[in-house]
């Protein structure tokens, strides 16, 4: 895999009042699952106090954005499984956690949901980014919520099967369709982040192929988010459970950055911030330029 830092000019994206200058560094998105059944084994259920303490730790360790999810979007979930958690239950989990995290930290907060009602309430509670694992396709009202709120959105590649002619160009083509559909719906191009959806509608071999060829996503001209943290592909390669995949995750984070990722979504924030900073020193240069005042 060629080392391709993401240095093409892109408009900075404002998330929660912060300017994300793509190409300046790799941004770390820390995961807080307010669920009882997270695949990664780190769900805090509805314990708001625990969620807030985790968020404070993330901030201390150098996290750039916090992603709060109220439904376990397991990689094996299909489109037909959508809405396995009721909106009422997801709202009960997500809204208090987001309100408390926003009050306790100065980090931007993302809501991980594909339901428009949940996204709207989360934004009202203080979320400033919508992370939709179905790329605005599961709920016809989601695009309108994002446009109305004027917040950025993460569009993830996802599908009900693992059939591909060639996984990388197939994923690139579908992400281009999702991007163009979002633009047609009124979302500014500068507010669109794309995610290849590691583990979603993909085999382990597909995921590894995508990671090895991640630089091919640069043709999309959008910031790229990669989330392989603790995923089953790592478990299959290393034969380890989710809570013992930190080294495997570190390898995928470093390779994602080398392939041009702008954001890495992770569970082990302290360790992956260090991995990101070290990899950035190689890929983007060191010492880094001074932060804008």
Q: Which residues are catalytic?
A: 231, 265
The mean per-residue pLDDT over the stretch 129-134 comes to 98
Q: Where are the alpha helices (DSSP H) in 27-115?
A: 48-61, 87-104
Whether the CA torsion 228, 117, 81, 72 is positive or negative: it is positive
Least confident of 9-13, 19-23, 37-41: 37-41
Query: What CATH superfamily is the domain 23-283?
Result: Dihydropteroate synthase-like (3.20.20.20)
- pLDDT reported for residue 42: 52
Is the pLDDT at 6 greater than 50? The verdict is no
112 bridge partner residues: 69, 131
Summarize pLDDT for 156-177 with one digit per residue, the tens.
999 999 999 999 999 999 999 9
Is the pLDDT at 190 greater than 90? The verdict is yes
- pLDDT reported for residue 72: 75
Spatial CB neighbours of 137, under 8 Å, sequence gap ≥ 6: 79, 158, 178
Is the pLDDT at 139 greater than 60? The verdict is yes
Is the pLDDT at 217 greater than 60? The verdict is yes
The mean per-residue pLDDT over the stretch 260-272 comes to 98
- pLDDT reported for residue 39: 47
Q: Which of 226, 219, 153, 140 is nearest to 183 (CA)?
A: 153
Show the beta-strand stretches assigned E in 220-288: 225-226, 263-266
- The Cα 285–Cα 210 span in angstroms is 25
Percent of the chain with pLDDT over 90: 84
Position 76 confidence tier, pLDDT thresholds 50, 70, 90: very low
The mean per-residue pLDDT over the stretch 214-238 comes to 97
Summarize pLDDT for 27-66 with one digit per residue, the tens.
999 999 998 755 444 556 678 999 999 999 999 999 999 9
The mean per-residue pLDDT over the stretch 192-201 comes to 97
- pLDDT reported for residue 2: 47
Spatial CB neighbours of 259, under 8 Å, sequence gap ≥ 6: 1, 4, 211, 212, 213, 214, 215, 217
- The Cα 210–Cα 63 span in angstroms is 25
Question: What's CA 42's distance to the chain center, in Å?
Answer: 16
Q: Where are the domains of the chain?
A: 23-283
Token pair of 32, please?
Answer: 């807080």
- pLDDT reported for residue 5: 47
- The Cα 180–Cα 36 span in angstroms is 36
Spatial CB neighbours of 4, under 8 Å, sequence gap ≥ 6: 215, 218, 258, 259, 260
Is the pLDDT at 8 greater than 70? The verdict is no
Crossing angle of the two packed helices 204-212 and 167-184, in degrees rounded to 10: 80
The mean per-residue pLDDT over the stretch 214-233 comes to 97
Is the pLDDT at 292 greater than 70? The verdict is no
């Amino acid at each position: 895999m060629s080392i391709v830092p993401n240095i093409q000019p892109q408009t900075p994206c404002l998330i929660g009042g912060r300017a994300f200058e793509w190409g300046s560094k790799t941004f770390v998105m820390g995961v807080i699952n307010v669920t009882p059944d997270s695949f990664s084994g780190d769900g805090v259920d509805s314990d708001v106090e625990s969620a807030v303490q985790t968020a404070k730790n993330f901030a201390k360790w150098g996290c750039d954005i916090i992603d709060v999810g109220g439904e376990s979007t397991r990689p094996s979930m299909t489109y037909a499984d959508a809405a396995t958690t009721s909106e009422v239950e997801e709202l009960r989990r997500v809204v208090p956690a987001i309100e408390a995290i926003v009050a306790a930290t100065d980090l931007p907060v993302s809501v991980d949901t594909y339901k428009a009602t949940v996204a709207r309430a989360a934004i009202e509670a203080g979320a400033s980014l919508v992370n939709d694992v179905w790329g605005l396709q599961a709920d016809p009202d989601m695009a309108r919520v994002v446009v109305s709120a004027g917040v950025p959105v993460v569009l993830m590649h996802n599908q009900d099967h693992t059939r591909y002619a060639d996984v990388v160009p197939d994923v690139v083509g579908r992400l281009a369709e999702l991007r163009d559909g979002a633009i047609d719906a009124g979302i500014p191009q500068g507010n669109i982040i794309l995610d290849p959806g590691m583990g979603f509608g993909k085999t382990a071999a597909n995921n590894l192929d995508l990671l090895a060829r991640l630089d091919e996503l640069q043709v999309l001209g959008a910031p790229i988010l990669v989330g392989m943290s603790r995923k089953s592909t790592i478990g299959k390669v290393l034969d380890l459970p989710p809570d013992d995949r930190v080294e495997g995750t570190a390898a995928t984070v470093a390779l994602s950055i080398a392939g041009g990722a702008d954001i890495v979504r992770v569970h082990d924030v302290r360790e992956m911030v260090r991995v990101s900073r070290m990899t950035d020193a190689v890929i983007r240069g060191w010492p880094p330029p001074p932060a804008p005042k």
